[in-house]
Amino acid sequence: MRNLMKSNKLSNALIPVISVLLGLIAGAVIMVISGYNPASAYLSIFQMVFMDPYYAGETFVTMIPLILSGLSVAFAFRTGLFNIGVEGQLLVGWLASVAAALAVPDLPKILAIPFCILVAAVAGGLWGFIPGLLKARFHVHEVITTIMMNYIALHMTNAIIRNFLFAKGEHTPVIPDNASLSSQFLTDLTTGSRLHWGIIVSLIGAFVMWFLLWRTTKGFELRAVGYNPDASRYAGMNVNRNIIISLVIAGAFAGAAGSTLGLGTYHFMTINGDFTGIGFDGIAVALLGLNTSFGVVLAAYLFAALETGGISMQSLGIPNDLVQVIIALIIFFVASSYIIKWAMARLKKGGEVS
């Protein structure tokens, strides 16, 4: 029995690896068909991400919000909820962090940064609360409401910036230094990249999710509701309240992701014509990371490396949009894990598909 569970766990962990490989192979096939050399393309990505300190730093810059966005999706998944609303929660958190930073220019750094991140998390949490409430109270599917909340956030943050926080260049004023996550040390280390202390924030986020889910009673309840809401209700848990709590916490992670953009990467918020894409990438990150903290960090790094390294493909004349195609294909393969499990069972012979 124990052996069986072990092999099951192993095969579950293999699925993301196989999906990534299949995605890369499919990407290579597309490159060959379009007349490019996939070997030199992948090699150039590898060289850029691992050999060039500046781009190594930029890879981490891309990874920081991706981790938090992935954690947000993964946390909701654990309670059986699908949070497509990261985009909106992130925008709201981004604006909230910048507004908070502009409001407290005299607070010492050690207080200002946690305060601004907290404000962003609360704002994101509020944006998650609404779909949570609607799901718990009216049984409205959270996929639709979170998508709608994304657009409401996009238009509202733009309107707020235009009317209240407008500075030259279609963005908010730049935040004061006391709330900035930037670090001369990290920038020097990576020969001038925008790498900032948000990396610590995102890793703390990963730890918080692990701790909440696996070391607290509330986390046990949340996971129980995700496994089987009926059994949880029978065991005396308040399913509706747990649904709301789960989406609020997920929203808080997304809001924190926004704060790393506001306080670290950009130091202001732009008027966005469209979504950042970080929230949608977060879905891929969570899936590929099997909704675990550690997996999310690994998957976020992989996607960040692909996206940053994709720039190097352009010097070879290969459009870097191919990276998006590869990421999409990886999501497809992870989503279709049933067929991968089936193929693996066939290869083993006599294995049972569950």
Q: Which residues bind another protein (CB under 8 A)?
A: 34, 82, 84, 134, 137-138, 140-141, 143-145, 147-149, 151-152, 155-156, 158-159, 163, 273-274, 280, 283-284, 287, 317, 319, 321-329, 331-332, 334-339
CB of 165 to another protein, least distance (A): 14
Q: How far apart are CA 77 and CA 64, in angstroms?
A: 20
CB of 311 to another protein, least distance (A): 14
Q: How far apart are CA 23 and CA 33, in angstroms?
A: 15
Residues 6+ apart with CB under 8 A from 206: 67, 71, 293, 294, 296, 297
Tell me if 64 sits within 8 A of 205, measured CB to CB: no
Residue 49 or 322 having the CB closest to another protein: 322
Q: How far is CA 166 from CA 162, 169, 274, in A?
A: 5, 9, 18
CB of 186 to another protein, least distance (A): 31
B/e letters for 262-277, b = 16+ CB within 10 Å, e = fewer, are bbbbbbbbbebeebbe
- Match 């890879």 to its residue by tokens: 59
CB of 303 to another protein, least distance (A): 11
How far from the centroid of its chain's Cα atoms is residue 271's Cα?
A: 21
CB of 317 to another protein, least distance (A): 8
Residue 58 or 142 having the CB closest to another protein: 142
3 state SS of 30? helix
Through-space distance between the first and last CA atoms of the chain, rounded to whole angstroms: 15
Residue 23 or 219 having the CB closest to another protein: 23
Residue 149 or 252 having the CB closest to another protein: 149
CB of 48 to another protein, least distance (A): 19
Tell me if 241 sits within 8 A of 136, measured CB to CB: yes
Residue 175 or 283 having the CB closest to another protein: 283
Residue 119 or 327 having the CB closest to another protein: 327
Angle between helices 278-288 and 293-315 (to 10 degrees): 120
Residue 207 or 332 having the CB closest to another protein: 332
Rounded to the nearest 5 percent, the helix, strand and coil shares of the chain are: 75, 0, 20
Residue 170 or 177 having the CB closest to another protein: 170
